[in-house]
Amino acid sequence: DYKYFKNAVELAKKIMKETIWPGDIVLDCTVGKGNDTLLLAELVGPLGKIYGFDVQIDALDHTKKRLKEKGLANRVRLIHDGHENISNYIKDEKIKLVVFNLGYLPTGDHNIVTKPETTIQGIKTSLELLDQNGVLLVTSYTGHIGGLEEKKIIEKFLYELNQKKYSVLKFQFINQINNPPILYGVEKLN
Ligand code: SAM
């Protein structure tokens, strides 16, 4: 079995574990069923805080239930709104890490997918809110309709970021079949 390089989602989790410290404030921009949210809530500890966004109320309700079961709900503010509207909720806080897991919920309505324009807006606002040495993680899927277009637009946007301000990586599993997701990682330098 894999120890290090399984897929983009697991690699993103490793980076979360490496970078998040107790007391940090982090953003989950695509909560879905809450897999990332739960891990983030554990990592920030009782003094930390998560803001979680999703446009699907059912997904948020499900996540809230999971958080309550683990006694983690009071660290997480779940917001039923799109990540393009982050700035309506968060202003002066220094964010340590932001995660986007794009596409659709495999167990939900496949027609509710992230879209390039709103994703880019969410990424832009997130980069502004990141603290020095804060990290942005974006997992991008290309196998569904619109996915490849979204990936191209994100990649172009990240490619053009000033290297004096941001360090940008692309993690791609180049020998896997069936369009494996790609993970982008950004560290804010100053
Ligand atoms: N990380 C999640 C998990 O652990 O279950 C899976 C996320 S799923 C791949 C993508 C999610 O993005 C869906 O739940 C969908 O409702 C949400 N979404 C779509 N457009 C959005 C937007 N503009 N703002 C926030 N969330 C959005």
Confirm or reject: Cβ of 125 under 6 Å from ligand 1.
no
Residue 154 has pLDDT above 90, yes or no: yes
Which residue, judged by its Cα, is nearest atom 22 of ligand 1? 82
| Domains of the chain: residue spans and CATH | 8-188 (3.40.50.150)
Q: Which ipTM value was assigned to this complex?
A: 0.98
Model confidence at 190, in pLDDT bands (50, 70, 90)?
confident
**Ligand 1 atom at minimal distance to the Cα of residue 29:** 25
Between strands 182-188 and 166-171, the pairing is antiparallel
In whole angstroms, what is the distance from residue 8 CA to residue 182 CA?
6
Show Cβ contacts of residue 53 under 8 Å, excluding neighbours closer than 6 positions. Answer: 27, 28, 29, 30, 31, 79, 81, 82, 83, 85, 86, 122
Average pLDDT over every residue of 158-170 = 98
For the CA of 115, the nearest atom of ligand 1: 20
Q: Angle CA(65)–CA(71)–CA(74) in degrees, nearest 5? A: 85
Residue located nearest, by CA, to atom 2 of ligand 1: 32
Instruction: Check residue 163 and give its pLDDT.
Output: 98
pLDDT at residue 97 is higher than 90: yes
State in Å: Cα 189 to ligand 1 middle: 27
pLDDT tens figures, 125-153:
999 999 999 999 999 999 999 999 999 99
Q: What is the mean pLDDT of residues 182-188?
A: 98
Average pLDDT, the chain: 97
